[in-house]
Amino acid sequence: MKGLFWNIRGLNKLGRVPALTSKIRDNHVDLVGVLETKKECFTPGFLRSLTGNTPFNWCHQPARGSAGGILLGVNSDLFVLTVGDILHFSISAMVMDKKTGFSWKIIVVYGSPYEDGKQDFIDELHHVMGTWSGPIIIGGDFNLVRFSTDKSNQNISHRWADAFNEWISKWGLLELDPSNKLYTWTNNQENVVLARIDRIFISTDWEAAFPMARVKALERPPSDHNPLLLDSGDNIFFGKKKFRFEKWWLHRDSFGKVIQKAWGAPCNDYSSLDIWQFRIRTLRRMIRGWASNEVAALNKQKNDLATEYNSLDNEAE
């Protein structure tokens, strides 16, 4: 599964629709969250033009005048979309995978860019998290930073950064960091300011179902925001197919080195919860890759021994 979250800065502007269409189709996107559409309504023909021959189900939050607006869509061949709350800063919906039956909530947000709206946005974030206790993915333009390093001039409001981090910590969320970009927005001015305000968070039970999930930032033009491309990964675990520790790992000489490497991986997080989640997530990924290679090596060794045995048996005859 692939998902796209993008602050498009107005679908009515020149070049925006072709850019969105190409990113959806070129990346084979199954889930779309578009922010700042600046449109009050969408015709069925317009929505079909975004995804071509791939059928999507859509819901949207109308723009307020010439500002805001959120559009959410999912591939209807793969998922059932049940619209939940359409609030002031967000859209929430339930998504069910038709093949596996796995259900989760998606929340697409566009946070207030203004000081007097930020507390209302934080309050709404707490509200939408409190309405569902199952797997969640929440992404979009939060218009908030977590740390001073999230802004190129390091000029941030610590009040709102603390409130944002408190929300993340309270609900035990994991952030999927873009693998290729530090910042996701630019002011496009002569005195350039860069910031990381576009984000994707997941709950731990969503991460348990998609442990290989990762995010990449795509090229931003014609918007001033980078689109975030979510890839859930090839390994999807449901039911009994969860991460389990195998005793035979302890008998392999290379296992200790994997633990040391994973636990010593560079981490840019600051809170104890974020650091712990980063370490555990990194460790699971590295162990899975290591175990796969070890199994392949053992199978090769087994086949080589069988070949050697057959060769000696033939010589004896």
| pLDDT single digits (tens) 57-82 | 999 999 988 889 999 999 999 999 99
For residue 50, what pLDDT is reported? 97
Greater pLDDT, 274 or 195: 195
Please give the average per-residue pLDDT across 194-202, as a whole number. 97
Q: Is the pLDDT of residue 236 over 60?
A: no
Neighbour tally for 287: CB within 10 Å: 19
- pLDDT confidence bin for 246, thresholds 50/70/90: confident
Q: What is the pLDDT of residues 248-260, one digit of tens each?
A: 888 888 999 989 9
**Is 243's pLDDT higher than 70?**
no
Quote the pTM value.
0.77
Q: Which CATH architecture has domain 2-231?
A: 4-Layer Sandwich (3.60)
Question: How far apart, in whole angstroms, are the C-alpha atoms of residue 46 and residue 10?
Answer: 15
User: Cα(140)–Cα(61) distance, rounded to whole angstroms?
Assistant: 14
Q: Is the pLDDT of residue 241 over 50?
A: no
Q: Tell me: the pLDDT tens digits for 79-117?
A: 999 999 999 999 999 999 999 999 999 999 999 999 999
Highest mean pLDDT among 157-166, 172-181, 297-306: 157-166
Instruction: Report the DSSP beta bridge partners of residue 138.
Output: 107, 201
